[in-house]
Amino acid sequence: MNENEGAGPDKPRAIVVGHGEFAGGLVSAVGQICGMADKLVVLSMMGMTPEDIEGTIRDHLARTGARVIFTDLPAGSATIAARRIVKDNPELVLVSGVNLATLLDFVFSTDVSPTEAARSAAERGKASLIVVGR
């Protein structure tokens, strides 16, 4: 399990989890662009059972107070685990299919609750997918 809870004065507002080094790479990019990687917790699920993934996410939610989970693929085992957690905790929000634009919008939305920020960031992330060329 890799984790990076950052060293900032504020607690992280979300957990980012995905395949391989996806989450770490994405949060590293957030840090490089705006220096706010400490708002995000990175989890890697490599080599873990579904129960381990779910347990680890639950532990980090409890430890950090984060209320948002970002995952990569809708079909991923992290998303499946997160959906089980959200079912038990309606105050949490899951955003699947996260991209860099989503996370950047999220970390800058500090004037609203994390769950509101997540919903708004998901819309920004969708809009960031563009196709250029014929």
Partner 1 sequence: MGIHLYRIDDRLIHGQVVVGWGQPLNIRLLILVDDLVASSDWEKELYRMAVPPDMEVRFVDVGTAIRDHPKYAVDPRPGLILTGDIGSMYRLVKGVKAIGNVNLGGIHHRAGRSEKLRYIFLTPDEERQLRELEAAGVEVTAQDVPSARAVPLPEVLEGATR
Q: Which residues bind partner 1 (CB under 8 A)?
A: 19, 47-50, 52, 73-77, 79-80, 83-84, 87
Work out how close the CB of 98 gets to partner 1 at its nearest, in angstroms, rounded to a whole number.
14
The C-alpha atoms of residue 98 and residue 39 are separated, in whole angstroms, by: 15
**Closest approach of Cβ 2 to partner 1, in Å?**
16
Measured from the CB atom, the residue of 77 and 115 that comes closer to partner 1 is 77
Task: With both helix axes pointing from N to C terminus, report the angle between 77-88 and 50-64 in degrees, rounded to the nearest 10.
Answer: 50
* Cβ distance to partner 1 smaller for residue 87 or 116: 87
* Contact between residue 63 and residue 88 where contact means Cβ atoms under 8 Å apart: no
Smaller CB separation from partner 1, 5 or 85: 85
Give the CB-side neighbour count of residue 85, counting CA atoms within 13 A.
Answer: 29
Residue that the structure tokens 């840090």 belong to: 31
**Whole-number minimum distance, CB 50 to partner 1, in Å?**
5
Which lies closer to partner 1 via its Cβ, residue 11 or residue 83?
Answer: 83
Give strand pairing partners of 43: 17
